[in-house]
């Protein structure tokens, strides 16, 4: 439902010349002066939908609520500058929950030199809801959008994927420094942070760039957590299926011209590994290429085992 609603809404939203990048990317880019762009993103998380307050310390929820915003700024290769925190607290134990939320928010803001520049706090008879708006600034190279990948570009990803439900989805470090470093030094063509899962977010990149992709299944960096899930659970998902569909990895999925990708892969300039997992194509679909040469169309809804 969300996807259809957003498509419908995007066709109707008013805009103006100061909106350089509007809805449809990881964050919006506003042109305020001739030489500066400001990048804006907002995320809302609700108890019972995005987390379970009864099962998780609220400080981890606070960390996540801010980190998801930073991850969206990272996806635009923007440096976070300020954040605004809106809390709707349950009446019961609201003060304690607020304190714990900030125990997670403040260290992360501090780590990235980000100001908590404002916000709002209310309470009600319902569950906890937290909405954070974050502002960032682009580097001199400008924003990294979802729309710049071209056929022939390499498809790269940071870190490893899958199984984030075992902890990474709450405790991840957004790839801010990594994205800015790479985009400043190299001409990346497109980028997105993996929140919906590799398969869906690759479709987002392809859709906005107007091209397709060939994804090499045996090149996907699989997280240990994905292997743990595949080994333990009763469902029939394999580790690579977890890596394709789990989501909330908050790694950076990006495109670069082949020569640039070769340099990045040779230098491996980050603390976290960078993997080449495929190539953008001029076909209008995402193809999963297995090690034995089998090609399968990857559905937009995420990975479904078909072989
Ligand atoms: Mg995003």
How close is the Cα of 122 to the center of ligand 1, in Å? Answer: 27
Q: pLDDT (tens digit, 9 = 90+) per residue, 188-217?
A: 999 999 999 999 999 999 999 999 999 999
How close is the Cα of 133 to the center of ligand 1, in Å? Answer: 13
How close is the Cα of 3 to the center of ligand 1, in Å? Answer: 14
How close is the Cα of 287 to the center of ligand 1, in Å? Answer: 22
How close is the Cα of 195 to the center of ligand 1, in Å? Answer: 6
Q: Which are the contacts of 31, defined by CB distance < 8 A and separation ≥ 6?
A: 17, 18, 19, 20, 37
- 307 falls in which pLDDT band (50, 70, 90)? very low
How close is the Cα of 161 to the center of ligand 1, in Å? Answer: 15
- How many beta carbons lie within 10 A of that of residue 29, not counting itself? 21
Q: pLDDT (tens digit, 9 = 90+) per residue, 11-50?
A: 777 777 778 888 788 888 888 776 778 999 999 999 998 8
How close is the Cα of 20 to the center of ligand 1, in Å? Answer: 17
Note whether 112 and 80 are within 8 A (CB).
yes
Q: pLDDT (tens digit, 9 = 90+) per residue, 150-171?
A: 999 999 999 999 999 999 999 9
pLDDT score at 302? 58
Q: Which helix (H) or strand (E) holds 105?
A: helix 94-111
Distances (CA, A) of 41 to 14, 28, 66, 141, 173: 18, 6, 11, 20, 17
pLDDT score at 2? 66
What residues does 42 pair with on adjacent strands? Answer: 133
Q: What is the mean pLDDT of residues 101-113?
A: 94
How close is the Cα of 126 to the center of ligand 1, in Å? Answer: 27
Expressed in percent and rounded to 5, the helix, strand and coil fractions of the chain are 35, 30, 35
How close is the Cα of 25 to the center of ligand 1, in Å? Answer: 7
**Confidence check: pLDDT of 306 > 60:** no
> What is the full DSSP assignment across 1-47?
-HHHHHHHHHTT----TTEEE-BTBSSEEEEEETTEEEEEEEEEEEB
Share of residues in the chain with pLDDT > 70 (%): 95
Nearest C-alpha neighbor of 254 from the set 176, 296, 202, 195:
202
> What is the full DSSP assignment across 165-229?
GGTHHHHPPP-HHHHHHHHHHS---EEEE-SS-HHHHHHHHHHHHT-EEEEEGGGS-B-HHHHHH
pLDDT score at 303? 52
How close is the Cα of 71 to the center of ligand 1, in Å? Answer: 7
């Amino acid at each position: 439902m969300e996807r259809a609603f957003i498509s419908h809404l995007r066709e109707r939203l008013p805009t103006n010349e100061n909106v350089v990048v509007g809805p449809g990317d990881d964050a919006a880019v506003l042109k305020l002066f001739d030489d500066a762009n400001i990048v804006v993103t907002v995320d809302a998380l609700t108890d019972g939908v995005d987390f379970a307050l009864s099962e998780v310390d609220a400080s981890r929820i606070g960390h996540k609520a801010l980190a998801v915003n930073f991850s969206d700024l990272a996806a635009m290769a923007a440096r976070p500058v300020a954040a605004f925190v809106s809390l709707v607290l349950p009446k019961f134990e609201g003060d304690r929950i607020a304190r714990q939320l900030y125990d997670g928010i403040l260290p992360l803001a501090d780590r990235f030199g980000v100001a908590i520049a404002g916000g709002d706090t209310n309470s009600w008879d319902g569950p906890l809801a937290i909405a954070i708006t974050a502002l960032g600034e682009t580097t001199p190279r400008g924003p990294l959008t979802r729309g710049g990948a071209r056929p022939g570009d390499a498809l790269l990803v940071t870190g490893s994927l899958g199984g984030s439900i075992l902890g990474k989805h709450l405790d991840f470090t957004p790839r801010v420094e990594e994205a800015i470093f790479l985009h400043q030094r190299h001409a990346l063509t497109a980028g997105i942070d993996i929140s919906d899962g590799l398969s869906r977010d690759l479709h987002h990149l392809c859709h906005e760039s107007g091209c397709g992709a060939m994804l090499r299944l045996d090149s996907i960096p699989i997280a240990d957590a994905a292997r743990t899930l595949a080994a333990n659970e009763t469902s029939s998902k394999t580790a690579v299926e977890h890596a394709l569909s789990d989501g909330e990895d908050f790694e950076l999925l990006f495109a670069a011209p082949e020569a640039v990708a070769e340099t990045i892969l040779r230098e491996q300039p980050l603390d976290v590994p960078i993997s080449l997992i495929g190539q953008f194509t001029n076909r209008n679909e995402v193809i999963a290429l297995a090690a034995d040469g089998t090609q399968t169309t990857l559905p937009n809804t995420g990975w479904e085992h078909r072989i």
